[in-house]
Amino acid sequence: MKHIFLLITLTILTISCSSDGADGIDGANGINGTGGENGLGLLVFSGDITDEDAAKIIAENTGKNTHTIIIKNTTNLTTIEISEISTLVELEVIGNEKLQTLAIANLESIFGEAKIQTNVALTSINFSKLTTIGSFAINGSPLLENLSFPSLIDSKNSLSISNLDNLTTLDLSSLVSANFMQINRNEKLPTIDLPKLIVLRKALISDNITIETINLPVLNTIEVPEDEDINGSLSIERNTTLTAIHLNALTSINILTIRNNENLVTVHLDKLVSLGSVSFGSNPKITTISFPNITTINNINFSENDLVTNIAFPDLRNLESNLTITGNDILETLSFPMLTSIGTENRFRFRIRDNDMIRNIEFPNLESVNSTTIDISEDLLETVDFSKLATFSTLNIDSTVLLSSVILSSIQDFERLDLNSSGKLSTAAIDGILTRLVNITPVITNKTISIQGVASAQAQTNADTLRSNSNTVNITE
């Protein structure tokens, strides 16, 4: 057939208003109608249908009963304009070779799912009155330059905008609440500006190679209740020209991931007070990372941020799982002055390694680390201060230069102490450590202690005392 299209009514039937249902032939009062003034439930446009055919179908068959529209695999259709519909349950616009214009100008709500995918000629979308969506995904329209949802307030399930190669303008200026948002692989999009977004549960912004700023100035929370199947996260990754992220009003987030943004300089998190986990990695132009108001956190990971000189958590008290700080080439200062504990009942990871410029590591109030190993390895490390650390499993410290000071003045319960540092410990540092170990009460037994450096006579005596109590002590010069 030259024109292929389907007009389908669902088997959700309207019972006749008359008592016997006999007047059902024309669809006005019964169940046998084909459109009428209230329209069909489902419209499907496909095959080689023309604009004229589509316009006639729309005029004769849309109305308040229309809940689903499918426009799929058409070969001649260039324009769809529908003005009669304000609500839909489902919308599919997929694989239409010549479709250029999609306009449902009075559409206010999509309760279910909308898919606009692989429409290679699409240049114009008009959903100017759309206020509420369930799930909405658009991708694979390489000619689309402008995507505007000026009235959209609430995205209840998901909003995905991806693989729009020429998209330069994205208008979500009225959006207040979103469940899950994904904006990725839009090669020409210069900015993301969500001036009214207050509540967000999860977002991924990635691989937008020309984006320069992300602005969410009033966003307050990114978190969800524990019983919901979504993790309350914001991931911003691989946006190669991104320079600034504005989250000035954000107070709470479960998981924050900012990685592989080659030109990122500034991240504004001035009001953040609740943070579950944070990961900053391979952001080579960030210079300072600070979280001044965080008191408790689950996980910290900072790696390969080439220009970071300072990492600061000035009010952090409890770290519940992992601490990983690695490969930050010119990192000079770590500040955790109030941190008292790391790890809970399970054993986690503590790693500070390969930060080439760090000379001093201080955790002056840290009392316990429930980690398999505290692993510290730094080329220029000279001093380590764990003056209140009482409980840990294994402590491994290595430096290529002389460790002049290693303060473990509160050490009490541990399994292994590995200070076999290639740059050696100073005699004074060895004296201080072994003096503390022989004075622990009750007497320690079955511990393994390895130290490299020149020990004093008193240190050797203390080592013998420890050995006599069934500890293994190795001191090498």
pLDDT tens digits for 93-137? 999 999 999 999 999 999 999 999 999 999 999 999 999 999 999
Q: What is the pLDDT of residue 163?
A: 97
Q: Where are the beta strands (DSSP E) in 223-264?
A: 233-237, 244-246, 252-259
Q: Which residues neighbour 326 within 8 Å (Cβ) at sequence distance 6 or greater?
A: 302, 303, 304, 351, 352, 353, 354, 355
d(CA 70, CA 461): 86
In this prediction the pTM is 0.88
What is the rounded end-to-end Cα distance, in angstroms, of the chain? 92
Q: Are 393 and 415 in contact (CB under 8 A)?
A: yes
Using the CB atoms, write b or e for 59-84: b if 16+ within 10 Å: eebbeebbbbbbbebbebbbebebee
- 9, amino acid identity: T
Using the CB atoms, write b or e for 184-217: b if 16+ within 10 Å: bbbbebebbebeebeebbbbbbbbbeebeebbbe
* 442 upstream amide cis, omega within 30 of 0: yes
d(CA 126, CA 289): 42
Q: Where are the beta strands (DSSP E) in 65-145?
A: 68-74, 79-81, 87-94, 101-103, 109-117, 124-126, 132-139
Residues in the chain predicted with pLDDT less than 70, given as ranges, are 1-36, 224-230, 345-347
Q: What is the pLDDT of residue 3?
A: 43
List own/partner pairs for 138-143 with CB under 8 A and 24 or more apart.
Answer: 138/162, 138/164, 139/163, 139/164, 140/164, 141/116, 142/166
Q: What is the pLDDT of residue 6?
A: 42
Q: What is the pLDDT of residue 16?
A: 23
Rounded (10°) angle between helices 457-468 and 427-438: 30
Kindly state the tokens that stand for 441: 């009460």
Domain ranges of the chain: 1-130, 137-272, 284-413, 424-477
Q: pLDDT of 16-72, one tens digit each?
A: 222 333 333 333 332 233 456 788 999 999 999 999 999 999 999 999 899 999 999
d(CA 122, CA 219): 32
d(CA 284, CA 271): 24
- 228, amino acid identity: E
d(CA 341, CA 122): 56
